[in-house]
Amino acid sequence: MIRSILTICIGNICRSPMAEALLASELPNCVVQSAGVAALVGQQADPFARELMRAEGLDIERHRAKQLMRSHCMSADLLLVMDLKQKRYVERFSPWSRGRVFRLGQFDNLDIRDPFGRGRAEFINARDSIEKGVRAWATKIEASDSWKKESEMRMPLCHE
């Protein structure tokens, strides 16, 4: 069962904080965190990201960018990156994470473009793509967890 998710982008101030907040909202039983492959360590989420999440009823005001560490990769059940380049990077950086690293837009074969420095319209496009990916992953995770719980309940108990 997936209980911990790490969202990853470049600077950890735009896409991954939005994905973190949206996934945490959709999957309240999961621990969701975010990090960046070249994080702007200690920086707040971009003002556009904060504004768009506020409009969703989500607060990322206290978010501070974190650098991706191998320990993050080892402890997460699922690592969600924004594009294929980041996927390859994470798999090289943390080879034992292979098989747990996927694009957030995996189910639509979609890379989520970096909106940094490109204005509000690009942030809205990124948010929309992130929301689509979050819905797809949340549905998949919930279905998988539900199936596992059902099959565990039907399993015969072993008695000695």
Catalytic residues: 9, 15, 114
The amino acid sitting at 26 is E
Structure-token pair, residue 52:
């768009």
The helix-helix angle for 120-154 and 15-26 (nearest 10°) equals 40
Q: CA dist 19 to 25, 91, 138, 158, Å?
A: 10, 20, 12, 42
Residue with tokens 């991706």: 68
